[in-house]
C-alpha cells in the first residue's frame, strides 16, 4: 500500500474509533462513563416549576386534562412545558372538578338521613281521651279547690284555674298532710248523686244548713245557705229530708248523698234537694277557711257581711294528681 494511503487509512480508522467511543460515552450509562474516566451525566429533571404552577390551578387529586385520571399529567402537557418552559393555558376541564368527583365529594341527602318516623299533627296536638272507670269502682283522693274559670265553656279544666287549697277536717287547708281523702263509688247511671266518705271513719262530706229550720230551700233571692262540713249524718240520694246533726265538725241540718263526681275530670258538684223535690242551681264560695253552697251569690255575700275574701271556687276529686 502506498505510504500516504496507509497513513490516511489509519487516521480515518482512529477517527472512527474516537467517534464511537465518544458516542458510547455520551449515550452509555453513568457506570460506562465512569469506566472511561468521565464524569457522570446529571439526571434529566422531570420536575418543572411551570408544571407545579399548572397543578396549583386545580384542586388536589384532580386531573389536569379531561383525558387523564388519578391526577396524572398527560405526556402532551409535559412535552409542552419542556419545550417552551412556559405555563400552558388550562382548558375548562383542567380548572373544574369533574362531575363524578363533585357528586362523590358531597353525597345528596337521602331519605334515611331524615327522621324515619313521620310526625302526626293529630298525635302531637291532642291528648288521648281519658277512659271512665267502670261502675262500682271505688275511688279515693283528696278534694282540691280551684278558682272558677268563668271563661270556660263545655268541660271544666282545672289546669286553667288557680289552686286554692284542699278540704280538711275544719274546712280549707293548704297543707297536703292536713287534707282529708274521700272515697266514692262510681254509680251505675251517670248523674246519680253519691256519698263522699272519709275512709276508715264514720265521717262523710256533708252540706249543712246554718241558722235554719228543717225546711231548707235554696234558690235565687233566698238568703239560706249551706256550709261544706264533715259529719256522721247519712241521707239517701234524692231525699227531701235534712237530718239535724250536732257533731265534732258540724252543727245544723244536713244532706249527704248530694255529690255528683265526674269520673273523668273529677269535677264535684252539689245537687241539693229542696223540700218540694226540686234541684236548685248552686255555687261554691270560699271565704276565710270555709266553703259555702248558695243558690244566690249576692244574697250570701250580704249574709256574710260583704267580706273581702269572697272567692267563687270549683271542687275537684284529685285522682292521680296533687
Over residues 153-177, mean pLDDT: 82
Q: Is residue 90 part of a domain?
A: yes
**92, 151: one domain:** no
Task: Give the other-Cβ count within 10 Å of 35's Cβ.
Answer: 11
**227, 150: one domain:** yes
Q: Is residue 122 part of a domain?
A: no
Positions of E strands within 87-220? 138-147, 163-168, 171-173, 181-185, 204-209
**192, 285: one domain:** yes
> Is residue 171 very low, low, confident or very high in pLDDT (cuts 50, 70, 90)?
very high
Residue 313's contacts (CB-CB under 8 Å, 6 or more residues apart) are 145, 146, 147, 148, 164, 284, 285, 286, 291
Q: Which residues pair with 314 in a beta bridge?
A: 146
Task: Give the other-Cβ count within 10 Å of 73's Cβ.
Answer: 15
Question: In total, how many domains does the chain have?
Answer: 2
Give the pLDDT confidence of 40-68 residue by residue, as tens digits: 666 555 444 444 444 444 444 444 444 44
Task: Residue 174: give the domain boundaries.
Answer: 138-317
Give the pLDDT confidence of 282-306 residue by residue, as tens digits: 999 999 999 999 999 999 999 999 9
Q: Is residue 132 part of a domain?
A: no
Residue 322 has pLDDT above 70, yes or no: no
**89, 152: one domain:** no
**93, 142: one domain:** no
**93, 150: one domain:** no
**164, 39: one domain:** no
**79, 182: one domain:** no
Residue 153 has pLDDT above 90, yes or no: no
Amino acid at each position: 500500500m502506498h505510504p500516504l494511503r496507509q497513513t490516511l487509512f489509519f487516521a480515518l480508522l482512529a477517527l472512527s474509533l474516537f467517534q464511537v467511543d465518544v458516542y458510547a460515552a455520551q449515550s452509555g450509562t453513568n457506570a460506562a462513563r465512569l469506566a472511561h474516566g468521565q464524569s457522570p451525566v446529571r439526571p434529566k429533571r422531570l420536575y418543572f416549576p411551570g408544571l407545579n404552577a399548572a397543578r396549583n390551578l386545580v384542586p388536589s387529586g384532580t386531573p389536569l386534562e379531561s383525558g387523564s385520571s388519578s391526577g396524572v399529567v398527560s405526556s402532551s402537557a409535559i412535552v409542552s412545558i419542556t419545550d417552551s418552559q412556559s405555563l400552558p393555558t388550562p382548558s375548562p376541564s383542567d380548572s373544574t372538578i369533574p362531575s363524578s368527583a363533585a357528586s362523590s365529594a358531597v353525597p345528596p341527602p337521602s331519605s334515611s338521613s331524615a327522621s324515619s318516623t313521620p310526625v302526626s299533627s293529630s298525635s302531637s296536638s291532642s291528648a288521648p281521651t281519658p277512659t271512665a272507670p267502670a261502675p262500682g269502682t271505688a275511688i279515693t283522693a283528696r278534694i282540691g279547690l280551684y278558682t272558677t274559670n268563668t271563661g270556660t265553656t263545655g268541660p271544666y279544666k282545672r289546669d286553667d284555674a288557680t289552686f286554692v287549697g284542699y278540704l280538711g277536717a275544719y274546712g280549707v287547708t293548704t297543707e297536703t298532710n292536713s287534707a282529708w281523702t274521700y272515697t266514692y263509688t262510681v254509680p251505675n247511671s251517670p248523674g246519680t248523686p253519691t256519698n263522699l266518705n272519709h275512709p276508715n271513719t264514720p265521717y262523710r262530706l256533708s252540706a249543712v244548713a246554718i241558722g235554719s229550720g228543717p225546711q231548707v230551700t235554696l234558690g235565687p233571692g233566698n238568703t239560706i245557705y249551706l256550709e261544706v262540713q264533715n259529719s256522721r249524718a247519712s241521707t239517701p240520694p234524692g231525699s227531701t229530708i235534712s237530718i239535724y246533726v250536732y257533731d265534732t265538725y258540724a252543727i245544723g241540718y244536713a244532706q249527704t248523698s248530694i255529690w255528683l263526681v265526674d269520673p273523668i275530670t273529677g269535677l264535684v258538684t252539689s245537687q241539693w234537694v229542696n223540700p218540694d223535690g226540686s234541684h236548685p242551681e248552686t255555687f261554691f264560695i270560699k271565704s276565710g277557711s270555709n266553703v259555702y253552697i248558695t243558690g244566690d251569690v249576692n244574697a250570701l255575700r250580704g249574709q256574710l257581711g260583704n267580706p273581702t275574701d269572697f272567692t267563687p271556687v270549683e271542687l275537684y276529686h284529685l285522682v292521680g294528681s296533687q
